[in-house]
Each structure stands twice: as C-alpha cells, then as structure tokens.
C-alpha cells in the first residue's frame, strides 16, 4: 500500500492517476475528507499515524509557505513508527519539473532507492525567456514584473528568492533522460501542449 500526500494537488493527483492505471493500491491523504481517501493534517500526529498505518511507501510532497521541514519531519516520524519501508520526497527546485513515471517508478521499485535526482529541462531559461516563449505560443503580450528588493518579498519566500537570484537554480542535469530513456521536454513544447489552459483559464 502506498500513501500519497497532497493527493488533491497538481502533482499528487497525477501520481494517483498513474498508480490507478498501473493497478497499484494506494491511499490518498488530504486535509479535507475525500471519498476513498484518508483525512490527515501534518500538524496532527494522531491523524498522521492513522494515515501511515499498514503503508509500505509514502509519496511526500509539502508546499510553501507552510513550514515544510517541520511537516516533513512529522510525517517521517509517523512513518518510522509504523515501519514504512520507503519515502519518496518531492521538493522544489533544485528538483525541478515533474515528468510522467519517475515518481511512480521510485515508489513501486527498488532501482531508485537512496538516490537524489535534480530534474531539469534541456535548457536554462530566465523568467523573461519564459515570457518571450509564451508570447510566441499565445500570440499576445506576457508581462514580467521584477521584485526589486527582498523587503518586498514575503518572509517565507525571501531565502528562496535570494538563492535563486544568486544563481542557485541555474544548472542543468541529465537525470530526466537517464531515468526515462528519452530527452527532457522543452518549456516551449510544454507551453504548446498546455496552450488551451492559458487561453481558457478555469474560473
């Protein structure tokens, strides 16, 4: 049995879909009650204990601005007490973009045990570069607003912004093609593939 945290989010929902397609049993964890899922909160140890009961592996994703380190540790403590064998942790960049299959392969097999992967696309792009690509795909202007000083950034984001501005995220890896056996997709291809989401945004 696999526990998926953040199961109703963008990434967790894709992991759930892939596991369903592969007929791998899983338990979906979220803060709100969901049909067939388990309701749990990272700040409630008893609920985490219920969530990990009988689980072999956990997909762990926590999202800022909540105190992710404390939440990660709370889940890890509950998992250790329950005898969970494997944790697959998705973090922000430097882990980069998501892709079909790598997370699920790590959850269901042993080949990736003990490994850390920094996932990147095939090219380094600034936000201005991304905006220019979107302008070409969408055929309309896309503005980028720079935040000139860190005192204008929420406190929970200041460290990450400073790190990114210093070039902390400016590197490429070959981890995606090495794991998947195919080239990593480009930002431009992603924009084309999701063009409808930009032109017809959900309310």
* Span 167-177, average pLDDT: 78
Q: Are 179 and 105 in contact (CB under 8 A)?
A: yes
* Span 159-185, average pLDDT: 78
Least confident range from 53-62, 74-83, 141-150: namely 141-150
Residue 9: which pLDDT band, with cuts at 50, 70 and 90? confident
Summarised one tens digit per residue, pLDDT across range 101-123 is: 575 555 555 665 666 677 778 88
Summarised one tens digit per residue, pLDDT across range 10-66 is: 788 888 888 888 888 899 888 887 777 888 888 889 999 999 999 999 988 876 555
Q: What is the DSSP letter of 183?
A: P
Distance CA 125, CA 159 (A): 21
Distance CA 173, CA 132 (A): 23
pTM recorded for the entire structure: 0.59
Distance CA 75, CA 81 (A): 10
In the numeric block, which tokens belong to residue 103? Answer: 């997370």
Look at residue 53 in the predicted model and tell me its pLDDT.
93
User: Which residue blocks in 22-67 are alpha helix, DSSP H?
Assistant: 45-52
């Amino acid at each position: 049995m696999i526990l998926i945290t953040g199961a109703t989010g963008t990434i967790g929902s894709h992991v759930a879909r892939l596991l369903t397609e592969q007929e791998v049993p899983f338990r979906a964890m979220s803060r709100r009650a969901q049909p067939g899922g388990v309701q749990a909160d990272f700040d409630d140890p008893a609920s985490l204990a219920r969530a990990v009961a009988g689980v072999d592996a956990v997909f762990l994703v926590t999202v800022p601005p909540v105190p992710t380190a404390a939440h990660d540790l709370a889940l890890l403590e509950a998992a250790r007490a329950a005898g969970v064998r494997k944790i697959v942790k998705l973090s922000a960049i430097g882990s980069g973009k998501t892709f079909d299959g790598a997370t699920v392969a790590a959850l269901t097999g042993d080949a990736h045990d003990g490994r850390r992967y920094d996932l990147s696309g095939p090219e380094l792009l600034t936000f201005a570069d991304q905006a220019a690509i979107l302008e070409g795909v969408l055929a309309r202007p896309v503005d980028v607003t720079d935040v000139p000083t860190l005192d204008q950034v929420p406190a929970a984001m200041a460290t990450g912004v400073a790190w990114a501005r210093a070039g902390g995220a400016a590197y490429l890896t070959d981890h995606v093609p090495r794991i998947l056996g195919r080239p990593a997709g480009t930002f431009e291809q992603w924009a084309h593939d999701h063009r409808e989401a930009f032109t017809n945004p959900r309310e």
